[in-house]
Amino acid sequence: MKGIGPKSLRLLEKLNIHNVNDLVMYYPFRYDVIKRSDMEMLTQDDPIIMDGVVENVPSLFHFNRKMNKMTFRMRSEEQLFQVIIYNRGFLKNKLVPGVAISVFGKYDLKRHTIVASDLRFGFLPDEVRVEPVYHVVNGITSKQLGSFIEEALHMPFDVVDYIPAPIASHYHFLEKEQSIRAMHKPQNIAMLKQARLRTKYEELFLFMLKMNYLKNKKGKERGIKRNVSYEEVEAFLERLPFHLTDDQKKCVDDIYHDLNDIHKMNRLLQGDVGSGKTIVAFISMYMNYLSGYQSALMAPTEILAIQHYESLARLVEGTNIHVGLLTGKLKAKEKKALYVGLKDGTIDMVIGTHALISEDAIYHNLGLVITDEQHRFGVSQRGNLKNKGLFPDILYMSATPIPRTYALTIYGDMDISSIKTMPSGRKPVITTVKSLKEITWVLNEMLRELKLGHQVYVIAPMIEESENSHLENVKTLTEKMQKAFGKYFQVGTLHGKMKSTEKDEVMNAFKENQIQILISTTVIEVGVDVANATMMVIFESDRFGLSSLHQLRGRVGRNDLQSYCILIARKDTERLHVLEETCDGFKISEEDFKLRGSGDLFGYRQSGDMSFQVADIKRDYSILLKAKEDSEAFLESPLYDSDEYKYVKNMIELAVQLD
């Protein structure tokens, strides 16, 4: 292409633009509407777009070599504005009185001044204009990129429309090519809206098509057909020290049906911290055992693995079930014995970390894999199981409830069971938002709990102070807590930079009540169960999302003792009050997403899947629902297998392979 030299080429490559097709498909992320502001509508500090003629010779003031400030008057019909613009000193010679200009900036009503961020020569166009704004990298401006794209739009490029014709005509969508052009250079706002709608729909349609395809495919994968008798399961439930909640029962039922069905299970079990997912997992393992297969439960950390192992061992005490534990701490000999047991089938249930599905672990007949706390299998791990000739049923457990809205996209390829109510007898954690000024009150609260023989968690966002952050941190808080309580209580520290053996030591000491106050970063977040801890104090809590705070709070209130959570915040306290009002993780995550948007979803599922160019699953949820319905119908229809739409099918199958 003309005008694109090696330097621009390199910059474009950074944007993943390698050819003309990529260029025309690189859509603006936003549009500026160029329209003369209506002065009567403006209030203090509103954005303003105004044109006029320069009234006097600008005065220029240099702060230093790079920074300067220019001031002049602009006459706009019957009004005079003061205009201030920074770092455009180089324009001074052109800004002679009488020259027509347009300025873009902020309006200071009180001083009748425009603080301009941009200045162009000439008056504004009479009709409203829409200008695309592109995401760029250093070295290229949105304007330059726009002109490359404009050039590309004059060249031949491929137009591949992934929306099947019957659907496109049902919605009266623009033609794809027309839509591409309108995305960059809309003739008017109505046209732009249509183009954006079409583009969003196409993205979401393809995404949902892929999700539905995966779900179908996984749903059709043959798994193990068991014949578990419900009487035996019920007899096992009788042994439990408590009755399952209704939600737990429903989840057990879902899993029971999955296991007895020939199709492979691919299910997510979600529920708040402490809602009782673990017992559901154990029951699943028991059902799997009844049909003669081995189960593996993977925990994210060793501490959790040990914790699960201990409760499972207790549960099956007095039965013939053999339970194993695989951790990094095992001596070579013990490890070997464990591997032998897995291979010859003498171990029925095994709990451990990721090592459970490593190359070394060979199973006699692995029928069920459960992963705790939302880390899903990556491709390589799934492959690992396949290579071993294993096709176990899979259950994922997650303590981060996802609002229904988002579950569809994030977990669209799985079946979902939810536990929404807590076991009865659980007291909600009393939660209070406080400012740093009220620290004396906080310390007194801590003291009260400590005197009762209970333990306290103290959380800070950072390990130590740094140049650009003077937030409370683990290091200084440890010193402070040591000063306040060290005489009578043990203070311990836990953070992500410690070796995992050190972390385990501290955590165990806390579990054994050798430490009463544990100062930690959020590494504590994952699933640890110390029933005697009744207070959670979180410093700088405005730094955290509501869901993270809720997760942290879930570390306490794990038995019938009254527990407390104190959120110390500098600002943003309005948002935090939600946590004072409710302990319902589903509600809280809904609130969190409302406030922070779907960007955070990336954290839950690291995958290119979620990155849409134009669509936003939150704002465009209704489009997503349509796309879901339509893609389901399309997959079922003969069209999907027809030659006409072979390219759609190929695209989906390729995308799935690459995933």
Stretch that binds ligand ADP, among 267-275, 328-336, 350-358, 567-575 (CB under 6 A): 267-275
Choose the contact partner of 455 out of ligand ADP, Mg ion, none; CB within 5 to 8 A by kind: none
Distance CA(537)–CA(629), nearest Å, equals: 46
> x/- string (CB under 5 A) for Mg ion, residues 474-513?
----------------------------------------
Stretch that binds Mg ion, among 57-65, 77-85, 259-267, 520-528 (CB under 5 A): 520-528
* Residues 279-298 close enough to bind ligand ADP by CB under 6 A: 279
Which of 79, 77, 124, 84 has the alpha carbon at shortest distance from 107?
84
Verify binding: residue 527, Mg ion, rule CB under 5 A. Answer: yes
CB of 282 to Mg ion, least distance (A): 11
Site string for Mg ion, 273-302 (x = CB under 5 A): -----x------------------------
Supply angle C-alpha 304, 576, 612, rounded to 5.
75
Confirm or reject binding of residue 186 to Mg ion (CB under 5 A). Answer: no
Mapping DSSP onto H, E and C, the string for 417-429 reads EEECCCCCCCCCC
Other residues' Cβ atoms within 10 Å of the Cβ of residue 216: 14
What's the token pair of residue 590? 């809904």
Return the residue of 277, 503, 550, 618 that touches ligand ADP, per CB under 6 A: 277
Residues 360-399 that bind ligand ADP (CB under 6 A): 399
| Terminal CA-CA length for the chain | 33
Specify the stretch interacting with Mg ion by CB under 5 A; choose among 20-28, 484-492, 524-532, 564-572: 524-532
Which amino acid, residue 345?
A: G
Q: Of residues 178, 423, 604, 610, which one binds ligand ADP by CB under 6 A?
A: 423
Which among ligand ADP, Mg ion, none contacts residue 245 (Cβ within 5 to 8 A by kind)?
ligand ADP
The least distance separating ligand ADP from the CB of residue 589, rounded to whole angstroms, comes to 15
Report, in Å, the least distance between residue 472 CB and ligand ADP: 28
**Burial readout 316-346 (b: 16 or more C-beta within 10 A, e: otherwise):** beeeebebbbbbeebeeeebeebbebbeeee
Task: Output 217 or 243, the one with its CB closest to ligand ADP.
Answer: 243
Query: Which stretch in 201-209, 243-251, 284-292, 576-584 sits in contact with ligand ADP by CB under 6 A?
Result: 243-251
Residue 473's binding partner out of Mg ion, ligand ADP, none, with CB under 5 to 8 Å set by partner kind: none
3-class SS letters over 284-325: HHHHHHHCCCEEEEECCCHHHHHHHHHHHHHHCCCCCCCEEE
Rounded to an integer, what distance in angstroms lies between the CA atom of residue 369 and that of residue 400?
20
Q: What is the signed CA dihedral for 334, 339, 344, 350, rounded to 10 degrees?
A: 90
Please report how close the Cβ of residue 515 comes to ligand ADP at its closest, in angstroms: 21
Q: Alpha-carbon distance 143 to 647, whole Å?
A: 34
User: Quick one: 52 or 527, whose CB is closer to Mg ion?
Assistant: 527
Total number of residues shown for the chain: 659
At position 350, the amino acid (one-letter code) is: V
Interaction partner, residue 279 (Mg ion, ligand ADP, none; CB < 5-8 Å by kind): ligand ADP
Q: Which of 242, 441, 488, 647 binds ligand ADP (CB under 6 A)?
A: 242
Contacts of 564 (CB under 8 A, 6+ apart): 429, 430, 431, 432, 445, 449, 534, 535, 536, 556
176 binds, among Mg ion, ligand ADP, none (CB under 5 to 8 A by kind): none
Q: Binding pattern to ligand ADP, positions 494-533, x when CB under 6 A?
A: -----------------------------------x----
Q: Return d(Cα 237, Cα 244) in angstroms, integer.
A: 8
Q: How far is CA 101 from its chain centroid?
A: 45
- Is the CB of residue 265 less than 8 Å from the CB of residue 259? yes
Region 425-444 residues binding ligand ADP, contact defined as CB under 6 A: none
User: Which of 105-114 are b and which e, b meaning 16 or more Cβ less than 10 Å from the residue's Cβ?
Assistant: bebbeeeebb
Query: Measured from the CB atom, is 76 or 417 closer to ligand ADP?
Result: 417
**Nearer to ligand ADP (CB atom), residue 312 or residue 366:** 312
586 touches 401 (CB < 8 A): yes
Report in angstroms how near the CB of residue 427 gets to ligand ADP at its nearest. Answer: 13
The alpha carbon dihedral of 275, 280, 282, 283 has a sign of positive
| Pair of tokens at residue 416 | 């979902």
Q: How many chain residues touch ligand ADP (CB under 6 A)?
A: 17
What are the residues facing 118 on neighbouring strands?
Answer: 104
Give yes or no for residue 248 binding ligand ADP (CB under 6 A).
yes
Q: Which of residues 555-574 bind ligand ADP (CB under 6 A)?
A: 558
Q: Could you say which of ligand ADP, Mg ion, none residue 242 binds, taking C-beta under 5 to 8 angstroms by partner kind?
A: ligand ADP
Least distance between ligand ADP and beta carbon 585 (Å): 10
Do the beta carbons of residue 489 and residue 517 sit within 8 Å? yes
Task: Among 28, 105, 146, 271, indicate the residue that binds ligand ADP (CB under 6 A).
Answer: 271
275 binds ligand ADP (CB under 6 A): yes
Q: Which of 52, 274, 401, 461 binds ligand ADP (CB under 6 A)?
A: 274
Tracing tokens 């457990």 back to the chain, one arrives at 397
Give the CA-trace dihedral at 410, 416, 421, 422, to 10 degrees.
-80
| Residue number, 244 or 568, with CB nearest to ligand ADP | 244
Q: Which is nearer to ligand ADP, 186 or 274 (CB)?
A: 274
**Residue 501 burial by CB count (10 A; 0-12/13-18/19+): exposed, middle or buried?**
exposed
244 is a site residue for ligand ADP (CB under 6 A): yes
Torsion sign across C-alpha atoms 419, 424, 426, 432: positive
Q: How many binding residues for Mg ion (CB under 5 A)?
A: 2
Residue in the shown chain whose Cβ atom is closest to Mg ion: 527
Q: State in angstroms the smallest separation of the CB of 418 from ligand ADP.
A: 11
Question: Where are the strands (E) in 168-303, listed by range?
Answer: 266-271, 294-298
Torsion 417-286-531-537 (CA) sign: negative
Report whether 405 contacts 540 (CB < 8 A).
no
**Smallest gap from residue 114 Cβ to ligand ADP (A):** 56
Shortest Cβ 565–ligand ADP spacing (Å) = 16
271 binds Mg ion per the rule CB under 5 A:
no
Q: Is the dihedral of CA 286, 288, 289, 294 positive or negative?
A: negative
User: Segment contacting Mg ion (CB under 5 A): 375-383, 526-534, 578-586, 626-634?
Assistant: 526-534
492 binds ligand ADP (CB under 6 A): no
Q: By the criterion CB under 5 A, which residues form the site for Mg ion? A: 278, 527
Q: By the criterion CB under 6 A, which residues form the site for ligand ADP? A: 242-245, 248, 271, 273-279, 399, 423, 529, 558
